Amino acid sequence: MLSASKRHRGASAVDAVKQATLVRLRPILMTSFAFLLGIMPLVFASGSGANGRHSMGTALFGGLLESTVLNLFFTPALYLMMESARERVAARRARRRGDRELLPSWTASATRPLRACIRSGSERSTMRAKLYLLVAVGAIGAGCMFKKAGPSGAVGSGSGGGGASGAFGAGGRGGGAAGTGGLPQPPIGGFGGTGGGPVIMIPPPLTDFPADPIVDATAPANAPALFDGTAPRADGAPCITSPIPGTLMPKNWLRPRFDLTPAAGENLFEIDLTVSGFAHPLRIFTGNPNTALGADLWNQMRNWVVDQPITVMVRAMRADATGAVQLAPSAAAATTFAIAPVEAPGKIVYWALADDMGTKVGSLKGFGIGEEGVQNVLVPSQVASRTSSDTCVGCHAATPDGNGVGFTMGPNNYFGKLADIRQGSTGTVPSYANAGAMSTIGTLHGIPAYSKAHWSDGDRIMLLSDTGTLHWVQVDGTASGTLARTGDANKATEPAWSHDGNSVVYVSGTSLIDGRLDNGPADLYSIPYANRAGGAAKALAGGSDATATEFYPSFSPDDALVAFTRVANNGNSYSNPQAEVYVVPFSGGAGGTAVRLAANDAAACQTGLASPGLTNDWPKWSPQAVTAANGKTYYWLTFSSKRMGTANAQLYVTALVVDAAGHLTTYPALYLWNQPAADGNHTPSWDDFSIPPITVG
């Protein structure tokens, strides 16, 4: 507007822009600097919710800085170029028609200086405008770099800025396609990528818990007064079976559920959560010994209370139907948990009994992390290639594209199968599968193995161990063969194939059944894949202890670690109560020191449950490991365990974290409370399965 006013008074475009710029420079800078200084507390925030405030503050700081540069350089340059172009067009029309009255009235007095500017100074004006525009474009580029995405990671990709994978980093999450099986990240400082997945807006900052207590429908309205107004006992604290002290939850975890076992039949509980820096505790009163946080509160906590301890204190008492105290409040039990700055990606598909063909049969069920339910993925009647006697889906593994599963099918022979699991084609043989290859697979036993590095057209390879030899089959061709294991005279079974396609870790033993290990002794060995040739076999240090039997190996997503099940001496491998889960560095096949996971243990207050003795078995990794802005790399692992006090196995998840110095920390197990507790749930597989999300209620 100021430039236009000057032009109406007869000033040239260049002079008008110069004068307007000088007049507007101070207010623009004063306003911008004042706002930038006001944002600094967010940029350098500390304490509770610091990660979220860092992200928001950095995005605002970068955006305003970019806007200031554009206002000072780009806008004047653009105005000058547009005005110069308009003058040239107006002058050309006037000369062609010979009618000066066609020009705007205010240009008549300025015709001579304008024409002189066009004739003698046009090159100088144009060059100056181009220079201004070049500076502005550079500023835009710098701004884009300011908000550019950090390291790629677990939950998605696409256009838009983003912080370190899975965390709230500088510049904010930019959206893009949501990672399979995980909840999309909130778009802090960025916008959803074109064609990307759904955008979930970040909730308001959580800087304190509500001062008023939460009294749910299972507790009497006067529950706070009962606890606060009755002298407590000095003992009788309930057992908090979940979360176990020190638990680490992924950001997209199920709503935290507090599972309590009363010591003396108490039926009313006070659950208090405290966070450092919060003025108030969160007080929850309930009659339900399995109480989960509300969805809205959990959504705030998982975004704003990250990477810091959350303390939980629980007291219990007994009250009658009228709300009168029958047993005074107990001493408090304590536990802690923390929320990781990353999500756990992918979906879990596991073996369980499902209703099919008029009975309960072995099938595959699955869910995404954070989904509060399960769904059937594949039941026997859906398998197009089955025979009438095939009524049980056995051990399985995901194809690297997540669209199918390889599995065995029984209950008689347990030969190999391959089926699609996508909606609309569930149970069908994939279109790329060669009939001859499927015929070969149908004669082999064993748990299938795949590698992402060998799952493309012309090189879709499945490994099967059959009766002790490592077979490879080209699924989309007719080629097949065996992998050499020079130096190992034992039988090979249960192969695990590295994601880079270079190495195979397998179980070397003498006693096999249905293509898997039966009894020990058995150890883990590794061989090179060597383009379908195999090679020299060598024992994996840490996975080949002479005093133990090791089996069910699994590569971490970056091939740095191998998880496995271990039992002492020469025990049986099938659902052995003495089984425990360990991990060992792979180190190119050299191995290292085996680490027993903290997740093997139940809560200390469950005095009747001790491991070995809980059947901790069948470990499988999440499909990606994520390095957060704090420099730590987060791995997630699922396994089955019989620690619920029944004969049914249930599924658990645990975290393994490697810091910048390479130190590995393991964490207690998280119970997946979305699974049916009455079912026996075994042999999980964790990958980017192409199954639809689950919506509950």
pLDDT in the model for residue 194? 35
Strand partners, 656: 635, 666
Q: How far is CA 111 from the centre of its chain?
A: 66
How do residues 244-261 score in pLDDT, each as one tens digit?
999 999 999 999 999 999
pLDDT in the model for residue 45? 62
Q: What percent of the chain has pLDDT over 70?
A: 79
Contacts of 354 (CB under 8 A, 6+ apart): 360, 361, 363, 365, 376, 379
Give the burial string for 36-49 (b: 16+ CB within 10 Å, else e): eeebeebbebeebb
Is residue 163 over pLDDT 80? Answer: no
Whole-number Å distance between alpha carbons of 693 and 368: 7
pLDDT in the model for residue 571? 87
pLDDT band for position 637 (cuts 50, 70, 90): very high
Is-contact 171 58, C-beta < 8 A?
yes
pLDDT in the model for residue 108? 42
Phi/psi of residue 128, each to 5°?
A: -65, -45
Contacts of 487 (CB under 8 A, 6+ apart): 536, 537, 538
Q: What is the mean pLDDT of the chain?
A: 83
Is residue 622 over pLDDT 60? Answer: yes
According to DSSP, residue 587 is labeled: G
Is residue 122 over pLDDT 50? Answer: no
Nearest residue to 196 via CA among 156, 163, 161: 156
Whole-number Å distance between alpha carbons of 617 and 575: 7
pLDDT in the model for residue 121? 45
The CA distances from residue 274 to 50, 210, 212, 303, 333, in Å, are: 17, 11, 14, 16, 14
Domains of the chain from N-terminus onward: 2-146 (no CATH), 214-339 (2.60.40.10), 347-687 (2.120.10.30)
Q: Is 154 exposed, middle or buried (0-12, 13-18, 19+ CB in 10 A)?
A: buried
How do residues 370-409 score in pLDDT, each as one tens digit?
999 999 999 999 999 998 888 999 889 999 999 999 999 9
pLDDT band for position 119 (cuts 50, 70, 90): very low
pLDDT band for position 96 (cuts 50, 70, 90): low
pLDDT in the model for residue 98? 54
Whole-number Å distance between alpha carbons of 492 and 510: 8
pLDDT band for position 185 (cuts 50, 70, 90): very low
Phi/psi of residue 665, each to 5°?
A: -120, 130
Whole-number Å distance between alpha carbons of 376 and 257: 24
pLDDT in the model for residue 539? 97
The arithmetic mean of pLDDT across residues 603-614, rounded, is 94
Is residue 695 over pLDDT 60? Answer: yes
Nearest residue to 684 via CA among 655, 652, 656: 652
Sole residue written with tokens 């007080």? 283
Whole-number Å distance between alpha carbons of 651 and 686: 12
Whole-number Å distance between alpha carbons of 245 and 264: 22
The CA distances from residue 680 to 86, 398, 503, 575, 675, in Å, are: 78, 21, 33, 12, 10
pLDDT in the model for residue 159? 34
pLDDT in the model for residue 77? 76
According to DSSP, residue 541 is labeled: B
How do residues 588-604 score in pLDDT, each as one tens digit?
999 999 999 999 999 99
How do residues 332-368 score in pLDDT, each as one tens digit?
999 999 999 999 999 999 999 888 878 888 999 999 9
pLDDT in the model for residue 277? 95
pLDDT band for position 509 (cuts 50, 70, 90): very high
pLDDT band for position 474 (cuts 50, 70, 90): very high
The pTM score is: 0.74
How do residues 16-31 score in pLDDT, each as one tens digit?
667 766 767 777 788 8
pLDDT in the model for residue 493? 97
pLDDT band for position 177 (cuts 50, 70, 90): very low
Q: Which long-range contacts (CB under 8 A, 24 or more apart) does 283-288 make?
A: 283/213, 283/214, 283/224, 284/213, 284/214, 284/216, 285/213, 285/214, 285/215, 285/216, 285/219, 285/223, 285/224, 285/227, 286/215, 286/216, 286/218, 286/219, 287/216, 287/218, 287/219, 288/216, 288/218
The arithmetic mean of pLDDT across residues 72-89, rounded, is 74
pLDDT in the model for residue 190? 32
